[in-house]
Amino acid sequence: MESINAIVKKITLLSGLLLSFSGLALAQQGRFEQPVFDEVVCTESIPFSSATAQGASSPSTLCLDFYEPEGDTMSCRPLVITVFGGAFVTGNRAFVDMKEYCNRLATYGYVAASIDYRLLPLTSLTAEGLVRTAYMASQDVSSAVRFFKAHGEEYRIDTAAIFLLGNSAGSIAILHEVFMDDDERPAETYISPDLGGVHESGYEEYLHYSPNVAGIIPQWGGVSDLDVIDSDETTPVCLIHGTADNTVPYDSGYCFGGWMPNLMPFMYGSHIIAEHLAALQHPDYELHPFEGEEHAFYYTNTYQLDMPKFDSCFSIVRDFLLSHLYMLPNGATQHFESLVSVHPNPVTEVLYVTCSIEGEATFAVIDMSGKCRLAVTETVGYEHSLDVSQLPRGIYLLLYRNKGHLSIAKFEKL
């Protein structure tokens, strides 16, 4: 019988080769780096949540449009959820920029979704109503994330590679969805009817799924309170903003250039957010200022896209996504038998492993640099558990060896 050190050495070497193969295969395919699909299929009006809007007496159904490459056979695909802008009073998931992002991302090999969120009727337009509606939008973004976590297999999604992209109000929503804890809720959200926690809205069957995402891309967005971004929150952030933006300020100030300050909220824009992240020593953020550009600068005066400016934003988005993809290429796992599965995923403390073979097995947990973080050899049945509570947050590979068989699974540690 080989010693555990010898087995781990082989497994670690194999994992390094596997990771190298992943990068090589992606480069050869060009997937995620350039368009590799000609046609995109959009499935419209998929219900993902039900919630009551500000001023409404009953809940309404929220839907999304799902975009995927036609003819794609990849079984585990990264997802980008897009969230439209419109000051929380107007807009819809079919806005031209959201459609362009979703269609273009799908040609690059991603799947994408453009989602609804609750809007504020103009008849209910008050400062309190705006704050409550912005908070509801964050809840609805969380509902969409948890919907896809629940249906990852159905939509062939890598649930550890879900990203959020927003425009204006949509960016405000995704920033607060990721960074706001329940004890940081605005006072207005407690006014009757109490809106509940950030991640407590939507269909009950999805409430236990994690709302965490692999990264966010707020375009010309902001936060109402810098203190919602804490030092222990490490979600990757890609900030895009015009430096001459007065609608949502690049630095800080009242939205819409101070017009009606008793109605429009005070916001901290991308520049101040980036400085705050730097002060917190956040491990993964980037700021892309567009000198002299105003709000939503890739729109023309007729609300069409200025394609050169949109292309500039898309290039930033493409590069950010590509640098944060921790996944195996399509077909790579076919070299290994599917003898093991893991849950919950993401995991915080105990990873439960379902094995297809009983007997003495070696488990090795490998981080994305190829380093072995945990290794044990034990006699196991069909169910086993691993304590991963001491692992740093991140994406890991679980390699399982039993009776000459080798299998691999991927999980996210929170």
* pLDDT tens, position by position, 34-62: 899 999 999 999 999 999 999 899 999 99
pLDDT one-digit tens code per residue, 90-120: 999 999 999 999 999 999 999 999 999 999 9
Question: Can you tell me the distance from the alpha carbon of 157 to that of 161, in angstroms, rounded to the nearest whole number?
Answer: 8
Tokens 């273009």 found at: 104
Asked whether 77 and 111 are in contact (CB, 8 A), the reply is: yes
Is the predicted pLDDT of residue 278 greater than 80, yes or no?
yes
State the pLDDT confidence band at 395, using cuts at 50, 70 and 90. confident
Residue type, 3: S
Higher pLDDT, 76 or 317: 317
State the pLDDT confidence band at 393, using cuts at 50, 70 and 90. confident
Q: Beta strands 359-367 and 372-380: pairing type? A: antiparallel
Mean pLDDT (whole number) for 154-165: 93
Is the predicted pLDDT of residue 7 greater than 90, yes or no?
no
Tokens 């890609």 found at: 238
114 three-class SS: strand
CATH topology of domain 4-21+329-413: Immunoglobulin-like (2.60.40)
Q: What is the CATH number of domain 32-323?
A: 3.40.50.1820
pLDDT one-digit tens code per residue, 350-392: 999 887 777 777 788 887 656 778 888 777 677 888 999 999 9
pLDDT one-digit tens code per residue, 296-306: 999 999 889 99
Check residue 5 and give its pLDDT: 54
pTM: 0.76
What are the angstrom distances between the C-alpha of 232 and each of 178, 179, 260, 414? 12, 10, 36, 11
C-alpha count within 13 angstroms, C-beta hemisphere, residue 406: 15
What are the angstrom distances between the C-alpha of 74 and each of 37, 108, 144? 12, 13, 22
Mean pLDDT (whole number) for 144-158: 95
Check residue 331 and give its pLDDT: 36
Sketch the domain layout of the chain as residue ranges. 4-21+329-413, 32-323
Question: Can you tell me the distance from the alpha carbon of 411 to that of 74, in angstroms, rounded to the nearest whole number?
Answer: 18
Check residue 65 and give its pLDDT: 98
